[in-house]
Structure 1
């Protein structure tokens, strides 16, 4: 879709990693409890397990009618997480997450990208929220039935949105380790948009640090470094929203200054308590107006120009939602 769409998914390393690996109606479900309290407890334990457990396993992703497999290794050393991801099918890719950086290896293009901009605290192989208690009433959390995934007993949780502006989720949580063994993201028609499932998993007491060394010989690779940006909170911005989808609020608004070329951009984060949407505003370097939509599975992005500024909205919400947000933002001269 051209250079502008490429820009969309280079705004955040999280979305770059997403593109590396992965190019049912609820009417029949029988909820055990619908008040959400027990479901919340399961989900909070899962969030904690993903940060603290040591494990290694093979994961299959289904997205855009294609299946990709990866091997993930995760460890927690005295409160500091490390994660190693290696593709097992398709072009070889490798990602290493450390406390202070995330490094991606692309053997086909002989490129190594290291990002120091606030390494993602979420696991890179499963984009699940860390906090399930702060959602703003836009979802129902249902504890449903139990079953088996990869030979392990699992509790199924359904997260059902109250409108079509959000996706629904189903998560199968390992009864013993509390790790997510299977995950589905589905749209308003109940159709699965993307799916993740462990095909094998092994829990470890300890994992040697050598598992987090690169397996790729990158001595002749081109190296790209995204240095940490200078940030400061924005108190009085000229950017306003005429209206936001119900439940979404501005949770963060900062000015980012690149340490590489001193370029400035504003970064706003909108959240309904469960999912977040990022909005980037920067001077438009293109001579003509831009209006484009792009998608990677459940992540949608919309780009438009406003009064000489380039506005990019992206998040794991339906295309309708990112467009509503992009159309609602206005620049008011001060």
Structure 2
């Protein structure tokens, strides 16, 4: 359902190369002044990375690892005239292709002969957006440290680790090309520092320009069914049918929308909570509990944890790349808003 900011961005799923040994001073051993300096340097690298991941031109081969899943992708990313374009093509497993132009994301599934088009506000592609303002806010919930240097895809990189201060979010490790500022490796870490997911370039180039045709599919799409995801966006301040009484510190409601799924009357309400880095989605859909097929309890796939429950005639699914404790807390805190305060259907 949700694969963080990568293939899930357009409803598709996306190597371990052996991390080189490096010397990294323990943060707990550093005096407070040095910790502050380390955090400031780390924030500088993350800010540069966020800008470069969006505005630089780059193309190459990326490997993605999650548990026993190992896939490779060809990536083309360009920025021209304020417009972000991106093309991702699977090189292993089932054929898939993603085309992105700013907020419009198209997923091509040859096996199903299907094309889905989704319009997502602030779609971020492969890597998260971390402007300086967001980083400053995240300092209340994460520690930031520069952890050394490593060569990746024949480029010298600087490492930055983001360590959560509680058990409600995962840690992150970014390796940023020292010349371009583009992240070449991203790891998602559990509470013990073990790698849950990893995304890494095995080869990459940074061309000055990229031809327009490089962002277009080469497949013959004759006979493909095209499905456009219809979303009715609502501001977070709008009154909703659902109230969440408890979320982990730092998480707040970012977006709320209604999604037309399979039929004209089949509407799912979607709420997105985020602390600026980690994100959790809540999906509420009318269903019947009598068939016994509604998912209840907890489940996980790789780094993604999910929690499901019935609430009256609705089935709630809470899902995100966060620890199980987070989806259980949020899922258990959802309740229906009083009938006289609920927003009318769009």
Determine if the TM-score, normalized by the shorter chain, exceeds 0.5: yes
Determine helix, strand or coil for the equivalent of 2:192: coil
Contact between 2:281 and 2:320, CA under 8 Å: does it hold in 1?
yes
2:234 to 224, 232, 235: 232
Partner in structure 1 of residue 344 of structure 2? none
1:107 to 88, 107, 110: 110
CA distance in 2, matches of 1:147, 1:231: 42
Determine helix, strand or coil for the equivalent of 2:13: helix
1:290 positional shift: 4.1
2:66 to 63, 66, 72: 63
Determine helix, strand or coil for the equivalent of 1:273: coil
1:137 positional shift: 0.8
Q: Deviations over 1:94-115 (max 9, x none)?
A: 1111135211112222222222
Q: Deviations over 1:69-128 (max 9, x none)?
A: 10100011201100000111222211111135211112222222222x3265201x3356
- When residues 261 and 14 of structure 1 are mapped into structure 2, their CA distance, relative to the original with a 3 A threshold, is farther
- When residues 284 and 14 of structure 1 are mapped into structure 2, their CA distance, relative to the original with a 3 A threshold, is farther
2:297 counterpart of 1:303: no
TM-score (norm 2): 0.83
1:132 positional shift: 2.4
Partner in structure 1 of residue 269 of structure 2? 266
CA distance in 1, matches of 2:24, 2:122: 34
Q: Deviations over 1:140-175 (max 9, x none)?
A: 000121221122111100111112221111111000
2:24 to 26, 29, 54: 29
- When residues 251 and 95 of structure 1 are mapped into structure 2, their CA distance, relative to the original with a 3 A threshold, is closer
Determine helix, strand or coil for the equivalent of 1:207: coil
Determine helix, strand or coil for the equivalent of 1:295: strand
Determine helix, strand or coil for the equivalent of 2:271: strand
Gaps of 5+ in 1: 1-7
Partner in structure 1 of residue 282 of structure 2? 279
2:127 counterpart of 1:126: yes
- When residues 255 and 98 of structure 1 are mapped into structure 2, their CA distance, relative to the original with a 3 A threshold, is closer
CA distance in 1, matches of 2:247, 2:316: 16
2:186 to 183, 187, 193: 183
Partner in structure 2 of residue 138 of structure 1? 141
CA distance in 1, matches of 2:24, 2:11: 30
1:216 positional shift: 1.5
CA distance in 2, matches of 1:136, 1:278: 23
Contact between 1:19 and 1:296, CA under 8 Å: does it hold in 2?
no
CA distance in 1, matches of 2:249, 2:242: 19
1:312 positional shift: 1.8
Q: Tell me the number of residue pairs that the alignment of Structure 1 and Structure 2 aligns.
A: 321
Gaps of 5+ in 2: 340-346
CA distance in 2, matches of 1:156, 1:19: 28
Determine helix, strand or coil for the equivalent of 2:138: coil
- When residues 209 and 193 of structure 1 are mapped into structure 2, their CA distance, relative to the original with a 3 A threshold, is same
2:210 counterpart of 1:194: no
2:329 to 324, 328, 332: 324
Determine helix, strand or coil for the equivalent of 2:54: helix
Determine helix, strand or coil for the equivalent of 1:20: coil
- When residues 119 and 93 of structure 1 are mapped into structure 2, their CA distance, relative to the original with a 3 A threshold, is farther
Cα RMSD, aligned residues only = 3.0
Contact between 2:63 and 2:71, CA under 8 Å: does it hold in 1?
yes
CA distance in 2, matches of 1:119, 1:85: 19
Partner in structure 2 of residue 51 of structure 1? 54
Runs of at least 4 residues of structure 1 off by over 6 A? none
Partner in structure 2 of residue 20 of structure 1? 13
Determine helix, strand or coil for the equivalent of 2:92: coil
